[in-house]
Amino acid sequence: MKKILFILTTGLLFATGCTKLEEGVYDQQVASQFYASPEGIKGALADLYNEIRGDWGGKGYAGADRGWYDINEVSTDEMMIPTRNTGDWDDGGVWRDFYQHKWTANHPFLDNTWNWLYRGVFKANQAVELLTKAKAPASGIAEAKVYRAFLYYLLMDGWGDVPFYTENNLPVDKIQQKPRSFVYDWVVTELEANVPLLSPNKGGEFYSRINKWTGYTILAKVYLNAKVYSGTPQWEKAAKACDSIILKGGYSLHPNYLEIFGDVNPEDESIYSLYINANTAPRNIIGIRTLRAEQGNAEFGFSTWGGSTCHQDFYDKYDDADLRKAQWVVGQQPGGITYTKEISSLTAAGPFEGARNIKYKPVAPYNGGAASNDFVVYRYADVLLMKAEALFNIGNTGGAKLIIDQVRARAGLPALAADPTLNEILDERGRELCWEGHRRQDLIRFGKFTVARDFKPASPQHVTVFPIPTSAINANKNLKQNKGY
């Protein structure tokens, strides 16, 4: 990845280094030749992929904190960061506000995430323009366009009606806010047109890049949530997008569940993963943030942070025979500490209260602020469960059962005794995909996001979309705040 970033710098020097007027045509020719080459395509895309890896200040899809990952996890029933009775993790109430759905338009997590997503849109627009002008191969242009569609999908999922632009020649205060249904239609059109053009290659230089199978997974996600975004369900189209991966992608369920989340995600199951190296390619703090300092010192030689956990209600969704339960640790641990599954308070929890998750148990190289676990964005088990849900909703409950039973078998569980209910499908998604960034979207789709749970009363319906950040409204008076905020 560092090599790709170096190529990007070189390419920009070629494109802009000559300043004499008579050399302008020559500059254009050099840039065109460069961005039409395989090296030029990598260069045009490099800064996009640098943005998607997690780092401080809310940068990235996942890895570090206070950004996209946290707004989609801490707002759900599967992750809680309570203030401890030692004073740890108070942070002015930012974590409690998210768990209890009390965020405002000034919440820093929302500002961070909004800025990251629109920085990505700007860079994606640049890449599309560079590659299109250079008449680069269709697969390269499609990769930039699908990346941009992915960002707009995340924006409409989080905020509904959002500012929309595909060229960077507009001042901020001239960009118009588009309805969620408009953005949905545009995202679908872009994906349907460009995903078939993407490379089918996996691994090697395509590890951590958006290939055809990643594109179809994004399309399946968009169609799975179509009723939320547009008011019209698209279950058949969601199932068809899943079939494009199931029938042609060559993926399977990796035999060992916890092996999926180490330093390199296994390519039999991992469809799209973020390359992370604590020394060179930002960070993964998910495992560091959950374990207490005593355990971190005993196992890794540095103090881990003891923050994120889950309430016992979510922990109790796992049967004792479920092999996936091993990702949650309770009881005595290295360092002479003992975790309990119970949490007594959101504002004054004991330091050892709450089960801890070792799905992303730190792998080397690591230090007190970063581990090197690659983060899996999409994987085959999710595709299977998406298809099962789609089949259920078109009346094929038996087909849904057969698929869910595959996932349960890998977890060491027997087949379902009968066709699944919607609640059983949601619970299976929770057990399989917890702490992977999908839960908020799933709960909204199933109508469960706003319900009361421990330490959180029922929420008003408007919290299913976030408020437009105050800073964005101040910069662009065309923006209208979402209802309820």
Mean pLDDT computed over every residue of the chain: 93
SS3 call for 270: strand
Taking residue 223's Cβ as centre, other Cβ atoms within 10 Å add up to: 25
Q: What is the rounded average pLDDT of the residues 198-221?
A: 96
Are the beta carbons of 351 and 186 closer than 8 angstroms?
no
Handedness of CA 66, 124, 436, 482 (dihedral sign): positive
Which stretch of DSSP H or E encloses residue 339?
A: strand 337-339
What b/e sequence results for 359-394 when a residue is b if at least 16 CB atoms lie within 10 Å of its CB, and e otherwise? Answer: bbbbbeebbeebbbbbbbbbbbbbbbbbbbbbbbbe
Name the packing angle between helices 108-133 and 38-52 (round to 10°): 170
What confidence score (pLDDT) does residue 2 get?
30
Q: What is the rounded average pLDDT of the residues 310-315?
A: 96
Q: What is the rounded average pLDDT of the residues 257-264?
A: 95
What confidence score (pLDDT) does residue 31 get?
73
Q: What is the rounded average pLDDT of the residues 348-367?
A: 98
Within 353-457, strands assigned E span: 356-357, 375-379
CA 309 – CA 287 distance, rounded (Å) = 11
Does the pLDDT of residue 324 top 50, yes or no? Answer: yes
Q: pLDDT by residue (tens digit) across 16-73?
A: 233 333 444 445 557 778 999 999 999 999 999 999 999 999 999 999 999 999 999 9
What confidence score (pLDDT) does residue 29 get?
54
Question: What's this model's pTM, rounded to 2 decimal places?
Answer: 0.94
Does the pLDDT of residue 3 top 70, yes or no? Answer: no
What b/e sequence results for 154-189 when a residue is b if at least 16 CB atoms lie within 10 Å of its CB, and e otherwise? Answer: bbbbbbbbbbbbeeeeeeeeebebbebeebbebbbe
Q: What is the rounded average pLDDT of the residues 453-472?
A: 98
Least confident segment among 2-16, 28-42, 404-418 = 2-16
Does the pLDDT of residue 476 top 50, yes or no? Answer: yes
CA 251 – CA 266 distance, rounded (Å) = 10
For residue 28 the two structure tokens come to 């254009």
Does the pLDDT of residue 12 top 50, yes or no? Answer: no
Domain spans, the chain: 286-373
What confidence score (pLDDT) does residue 428 get?
98
Q: What is the rounded average pLDDT of the residues 265-279?
A: 96
What confidence score (pLDDT) does residue 28 get?
56
Does the pLDDT of residue 280 top 60, yes or no? Answer: yes
What confidence score (pLDDT) does residue 27 get?
55
What confidence score (pLDDT) does residue 332 get?
98
What confidence score (pLDDT) does residue 32 get?
77
In percent, how much of the chain has pLDDT > 90? 93
Q: pLDDT by residue (tens digit) across 111-161?
A: 999 999 999 999 999 999 999 999 999 999 999 999 999 999 999 999 999
